[in-house]
Amino acid sequence: MEQTVDVIIVGGGVIGCSIAYHLSKRGIKVRLLERGRIASEASSAAAGMLAAQAEFIDSVPLFDWARQSRAMFPALTADLQAHSGMEIGLVQQGLLRVATSEEDVLRYHAQAELQRQSGESAQWLSAQEALALEGTLASDVYGALYLENDHQVVAPSLTLAYASAAAALGAEIREHSEVQELLREGGRITGVRMQDGIHRCQQVIIASSIWSQALLRTVGYDLPLYPVKGECIAVRTNKPLIRRTIYTDNCYLVPKANGELLIGATVTPHTMQRHVTVGGILALMGVAERLIPSIRGATWIRTWSGLRPQTPQGLPYIGNHPELAGLMIAAGHYRNGILLSPLTGSVMADLVEGIELAADLTAFQVPAMRWSKDQEMTGVGI
């Protein structure tokens, strides 16, 4: 039996759920199809940092997007609460990018200067000043860059709240619903095929992270994406060890709204293996202990891993497919999908409505790359 709707979204991670929420707010009839549970992949593994300044050193295209998206969180928190009744654990304490060498000090000073020129708050703190803010920091740190607006949320809660708010606004959210292939009629995508039959729509939006590539290949196009595994740890202490996120290149510690302290994350490209390794945990705990020595007394809670979706250019694909009408993509948000989710959802909704976009998409264009089964056999394009 055929089932029709305005827009089909494939993928119930933070990106698909944000798009569903933004479209539903505008009265557009949406069906979101998720093969597992909502937030079952990267969007439940994420640390939830809104690290627009800590993770983007200078004015790469994503820096402006990141700042614009970060600014949407206070209003979004209230709106999601109003529609879903759910809290997303927004903690507005900022972040300390801690220097552990002279080289870090030079780098972070330069970073602070560039960010101040962009109108952002970025304050250099001596070691003494950093210790005055976070008394459990190791006394031999070289100082810290205080980014008072890099806040954090609870990533799975955000994703579930988007989905729940979208449902309250009329979206159909279907879990355990895997899309097997896209339906193509000439130069147009007209729907998707699932086990229960064909679902037709005006617009298909692929928000399926690294699995977006396999879906595009069902209609003869490619979309280069690869996984970057990240492992994390959660511990608990009787009294919070820190109030602000502590961030270095190799490890970050994020004090969550529920009292847990999240320690992340490893970076292992090109693997689909999800197991958490002893080596990964030792590496993270080694740096965490050097930064906050008293973490030795914390109680172990759990470990997990997730697959970040990365692209060869290091920029997500956001927008219309250049050759297939009726098809849009939002995938490849790598380390910042939580942070970038509000703006991505809002701009995708602008595109569906055909109105002026809230942000520039030039840097995030979807490539027009053909794909054939022969390439798979010869290994070309893998």
Asked if residue 31 binds ligand FAD (CB under 6 A), the reply is: no
Among the listed residues 182, 162, 179, the one whose alpha carbon sits nearest the alpha carbon of residue 171: 162
Q: Which of residues 125-184 bind ligand FAD (CB under 6 A)?
A: 178-179
With CB under 5 to 8 Å by kind, the binding choice for 143 among ligand GLY, ligand FAD, none is none
> Pattern 109-128, binding to ligand FAD, x per CB under 6 A?
--------------------
Q: Scanning the structure block, which residue is given the tokens 């220097």?
A: 99
d(CA 7, CA 20): 9
**Considering only residues 21, 28, 30, 34, which one is a binding residue for ligand FAD as defined by CB under 6 A?**
34
d(CA 142, CA 337): 31
Asked if residue 265 binds ligand FAD (CB under 6 A), the reply is: yes
Quote the least distance from Cβ 5 to ligand GLY, whole Å: 33
d(CA 154, CA 372): 41
Cis before residue 265, ω within 30 degrees of 0?
Answer: yes
> Pattern 52-91, binding to ligand GLY, x per CB under 6 A?
---x------------------------------------
**Considering only residues 17, 265, 298, 331, which one is a binding residue for ligand GLY as defined by CB under 6 A?**
265
**Considering only residues 35, 308, 321, 333, which one is a binding residue for ligand GLY as defined by CB under 6 A?**
308
Which residue number, 127 or 206, has a Cβ lying nearer to ligand FAD?
206
Instruction: Please name every residue paired with 222 in a beta bridge, in sequence order, or none if there are none.
Output: 369
Give the contacts of 313 (CB within 8 A, at least 6 positions apart): none
Asked if residue 227 binds ligand FAD (CB under 6 A), the reply is: no
Q: Please report the DSSP string for 15-61 in residue order.
A: HHHHHHHHHHHTT--EEEE-SS-TT-SHHHH---B--TTTS--S--H
**Considering only residues 25, 31, 35, 67, which one is a binding residue for ligand FAD as defined by CB under 6 A?**
35
| CA 130 to each of CA 210, 255, 277, 293: distance values in angstroms, whole numbers, following the listed order | 39, 17, 32, 15
Asked if residue 151 binds ligand GLY (CB under 6 A), the reply is: no
d(CA 98, CA 107): 11
Reported as half-sphere exposure (CB side, CA atoms, 13 A), residue 245 has a value of 32
| Residue span binding ligand GLY (CB under 6 A) among the ranges 47-55, 108-116, 149-157, 199-207 | 47-55
- Residue, CB closest to ligand GLY: 335
Residues that bind ligand GLY (CB under 6 A): 47, 49, 55, 230, 264-265, 308, 335-336
Binding site for ligand FAD (CB under 6 A): 10-16, 33-36, 40-43, 45-49, 178-179, 207-209, 211, 215, 230, 232, 264-265, 306, 308-309, 331, 333-339
